[in-house]
Chain A
């Protein structure tokens, strides 16, 4: 009788620019490898079956739910988790916008939302359309990253506290800053002390969106 096949492998994961060599059970998900083996607990486990987005990381720059990815299959890929988003002590503009605009409450979906937002901004900058993009012909160019586009593109990330309104504002602000950075020197002041939002113009813009 042949010996039982090994259920463990030693793998090397490239996480946030660091290489980690670790033995993993073949059944170990990338999420569990991060959380249980590498002590990178920023990626959250909300459902463990790809439905909530709390475990979202970037794999080679693209969004992925790490609970549906086996660790052994992530070898050789560049993995970015929430722990790798800030530049040292300096928060990434997306993180800063979440902090300033209160784009969270309990914070458990937040790392996934932020990683997802990074993906959204890149996907949008690359000209990817979404399900709500009105004109998807290449000659139509990149759609504007409206609130409706952000909502559609972020819908894989659930937030039970109901912080969506602030999250959308935070993503829009960070995306605008991102665009401004590449085109004009204009900067945006974080609205740390905003207590009133939603002007009449906002509302009419919202209404147009909802019925577009």
Chain B
């Protein structure tokens, strides 16, 4: 027996120091195994068959010829699939019934799963799935989204649908300057590089699912409820996850894989195709937003209205809460916000990186820029004059509010002071040049989690937590947090994540993952250190402490808790081709204590890269006739590629969260917020034309750009 305790010297200071990813070597050598890459004997392959109509009923499935095809093992569909329960409340609310596959004959959208063909090889499964004849009773569908829908209704989602204070019309009438504009954002897709994949198998009476998800205990809980299983008899593992961005929760592929594994009593793997991901994994709803701002001549807001319309499916309600951002950012005597929804024959949208804030900040921050122009005030000064003292709607104090510090540091580093505010003046060859800025914010929250920390007999420590590292660097961040909490060097800490057997934990989402998990790890480590200082020595099985942060997080005082940021962009616009190039970007963030500067910078820059993509490229176009997408793949849906992305700088100001044990706020989402607005504002500064509809495509720039020339000449 060894009597190692925490070591001879205490170490503190891993948090805040750059560390390469602990799983980095596995990722650069190809050794890291993702969900579809773990081999099993007798593995069978499932291939989903999805609807080719947007609304109607399945009349028949001609399974007999398919079942005779080589290698085909079964075809699951609504006549023979196990019944599941989708009438429950899971960790994050009621499930999207899209995941409860093969329960009825109704088709609510194009690309709805109607069958799963399972075969010995992927080639056989795919061929049989493509050969399966499905006949439908087609009904007329409605996929037309516009701001004019009379059937739109106010919808809550995770925040109040409507907030109203003051008399909007009279304050607008009394305003010296008014901005009244409509902004639109298109349907956008997460498009993680790794397609959703799950392998399900029964192992000694337990259901095991190897999956690519953002929360193993989340998916475990959903599957247990859906299949009416004891949660302890379900284990979900998710070691490496190839991106998620909000799309990797409970989806059709896991449920179909479990059904097939149960029916065949063999391991079954179901991997979505890239095309299927466009209809089965959620997306960001298009939005139509109307902003009305009224201000005194000095720019102080008297009136603010932010109304947003988004869409959802006919089977599940999801709100893209774009008007929520106005409830945090700016106050006004009359302050009205509303999130509204229309139901169409489309798949259900879901959370996508900065839900609400990403499209909402585009509209609001572009409108602020228009107001600055009309008032003749610098855009940063305008934001300084309208910094709220308390939550504009809640009336609660801010835990910290370091937006202006971000703007100050950003302005200094970007060279903002030298900027001539007049638009359309700078030319470099065929390029018109401009710069723009915008504010960013995202909620800083924490959710209860449990962690298990063990002092091993060999002097190392093992941390077990059902966290997910979807590329955020969480595994490495938690290693540093645990090292500091244990007062040892990080090389003595082994963090194991992605296994529902480790106990309940927050998902990787809402910028709350690392903060929530770090809290639980810190709590367990602190208690373990106390136990170790008693000096009793470590038995061979180690000493293990489990934490649960439910009570601590439940005791947090009600405050406005947010990360903030200042985005800066410089663009070049060629008005003869319509091309917009982002030349450089700078983002300065106040986002809590930064655990690992190396990976944190990557996350901020990644978010800003999403901002470029959102501003200039991404747009899923729905064909009104068929109800499906044009080009539902990575050629038809362009996400920013290498050549689209210039050098991007991201940095931060000191902003530790006063109520978090580590000082963390969360950094996954704030990087995209405001980024598209900064780019759109820069395009205006370059050309003199406001682009209120994303993406700013060449065909939108071409006619508008010519107008700018005229304006400038005038």
Instruction: Give the interface of A toward B (CB within 8 A).
Output: 25, 27-28, 32, 35-36, 39-49, 51-52, 54, 81-83, 85-86, 91, 95-96, 98-100, 102, 104-111, 114, 147, 150-152, 154-155, 157-168, 192-198, 202-203, 206-207, 209-211
Q: Does B608 contact A (CB under 8 A)?
A: yes
Structural contact, A44 and B193, CB atoms closer than 8 A:
yes
Asked if B635 and A51 make an inter-chain contact with CB atoms under 8 angstroms apart, the answer reads: yes
Contact B648 A165, beta carbon cutoff 8 Å: yes
User: How far, in whole Å, are A196 and B236 apart by their CA atoms in the complex?
Assistant: 39
Beyond A102-B21, A106-B241, A206-B646, whether A211 also contacts B431 by CB under 8 A is yes
Say if the beta carbon of B714 comes within 8 Å of chain A: no
CB distance A105 to B28 under 8 Å?
no
Of the A-B pairs whose beta carbons lie under 8 Å apart in the complex, a sample of 20, sorted by A's number, is A25-B121, A25-B124, A27-B123, A46-B195, A49-B633, A83-B30, A85-B29, A99-B24, A100-B20, A102-B599, A108-B34, A160-B193, A162-B609, A164-B642, A165-B645, A166-B602, A195-B598, A210-B584, A210-B646, A211-B583
Q: Which of A35, A36, A82, A160 meets B191, CB within 8 Å?
A: A160
**1/0 per residue B210-246: CB within 8 Å of A?**
0000000000000000000000000000001111010
CA distance A181 to B641 in the complex (A): 30
Q: Is B428 an interface residue (CB 8 A)?
A: yes
Q: How many residues of B contact A (CB 8 A)?
A: 80
Smallest CB–CB gap between A146 and chain B, Å? 12
> Which among A28, A46, A161 has the greatest number of chain B C-beta atoms within 10 A?
A161
A44 to B121, CA, bound (A): 18
Q: Contact: B608 with A162, CB < 8 Å?
A: yes
Q: Please report the C-alpha to C-alpha distance between residue A147 and residue B473 in the assembled complex, in whole angstroms.
A: 26
Known: A49-B274, A102-B602, A206-B583. A150 touches B29 (CB 8 A): no
Instruction: Tell me the interface secondary structure of chain A in the complex.
Output: loop
In the complex, B173 has a CB within 8 A of chain A? no
Q: In the docked arrangement, what's the CA distance between A151 and B433, Å?
A: 21
Task: State whether the Cβ of B559 lies closer than 8 Å to any Cβ in chain A.
Answer: no
B15 on interface, CB distance cutoff 8 Å: no
Closest approach, in angstroms, between the C-beta of B684 and any C-beta of chain A? 18
Using Cβ atoms and an 8 Å threshold, which residues of chain B touch A194?
Answer: 18, 598
Q: How far is the CA of A25 from the CA of B126 in the complex (A)?
A: 13
Query: Is the beta-carbon distance between B29 and A86 smaller than 8 angstroms?
Result: yes
The reply on B387 being an interface residue by CB < 8 A is no
Are A158's CB and B584's CB within 8 A? no
Distance of A51 Cα from B638 Cα, bound (Å)? 10
Q: Does B93 contact A (CB under 8 A)?
A: no
B26 CB → nearest A CB, Å: 8
Is B603 a contact of A105 with CB atoms below 8 Å? Answer: yes
Kindly list chain B residues whose C-beta atoms are within 8 Å of the C-beta of A160. 190-193, 243, 245, 639
Q: Which residues of B contact A (CB under 8 A)?
A: 17-18, 20-21, 23-34, 36-37, 39, 121-124, 127, 190-195, 240-243, 245, 271, 273-274, 428-429, 431, 433, 470-473, 570, 572, 581-584, 586, 597-599, 601-603, 605-610, 613, 633-635, 639-643, 645-649, 651
Nearest CB on B from A201, distance (A): 11
Interface hub of A46, A114, A165 (most chain B Cβ within 10 A): A165
Smallest beta-carbon distance A84→chain B, Å: 9
Q: A167 to B608: give the CA distance in the assembly, Å.
A: 15
The answer to whether A51 and B634 touch across the interface, beta carbons within 8 angstroms, is yes
Instruction: Kindly provide the distance from the CB of A30 to the nearest chain B CB, expressed in whole angstroms.
Output: 13
Give the 3 A-B CB pairs with smallest separation, nearest first. Answer: A42-B30, A108-B242, A162-B609
Are the CB atoms of A52 and B634 closer together than 8 Å? yes
User: B244's closest neighbor in chain A, by CB?
Assistant: A106
Task: Knowing A41-B30, A86-B29, say if A162 contacts B245 (CB, 8 Å).
Answer: no
CB–CB A107/B641 < 8 A: no
Q: A192 and B20 in contact (CB under 8 A), knowing A155-B642, A163-B606?
A: yes
- How far is A158 from B582 in the complex, measured between Cα atoms in Å? 18
Shortest Cβ distance from A172 into chain B, in angstroms?
Answer: 11
Choose one: A81, A86, A154, A210; the contact of B583 (CB below 8 Å): A210
CA distance A157 to B193 in the complex (A): 10
Closest CB in chain A relative to B585 CB, distance in Å: 10
- In the complex with contacts A32-B122, A51-B635, A195-B598, A159-B30 CB distance below 8 A: no
Complex interface: chain B residues within 8 A of A105 (CB)? 243, 471-473, 599, 602-603, 606
Please tell me if the beta carbons of B274 and A106 are within 8 angstroms of each other in the complex. no
Chain B residue numbers with a CB within 8 Å of A150 are: 642
- Contacts A41-B33, A99-B25, A195-B601 supplied; 8 other A-B pairs, CB < 8 Å: A35-B37, A46-B634, A102-B602, A162-B607, A165-B648, A192-B18, A195-B18, A210-B581
Q: With a CB–CB cut-off of 8 A, which chain B residues contact A164? A: 609, 640-642, 645
Residue from B17, B24, B586, B608 whose CB has the most chain A CB atoms within 10 Å: B24
Residue of A nearest to B17 (CB): A193
B29 engages A47 (CB within 8 Å): no
- Whole-angstrom CA separation of A112 from B25 in the bound complex: 15
Once A49-B274, A210-B583 are accepted as A-B contacts, the answer to whether A106 and B193 lie under 8 Å apart by CB is yes
In angstroms, Cα B586 to Cα A26, docked, is: 50
Knowing A106-B471, A107-B240, the reply to whether A168 touches B642 (Cβ < 8 A) is yes
In the assembled complex, the Cα of A36 lies from the Cα of B124 at a distance in Å of: 14
Q: How far is the CA of A106 from the CA of B73 in the complex (A)?
A: 34
With contacts A47-B633, A51-B633, A211-B428 taken as known, whether A162 is within 8 angstroms of B193 at the C-beta atoms is no
- Once A165-B605, A211-B583 are accepted as A-B contacts, the answer to whether A104 and B28 lie under 8 Å apart by CB is yes
Q: Assess the B193–A46 pair: CB atoms within 8 A.
A: yes
Report which of B190, B274, B471, B572 forms a contact with A107, defined as CB distance below 8 A.
B471
- Complex Cα distance A41/B220, Å? 26
In the complex the two chains form, what is the Cα distance from A164 to B608 in whole Å? Answer: 11
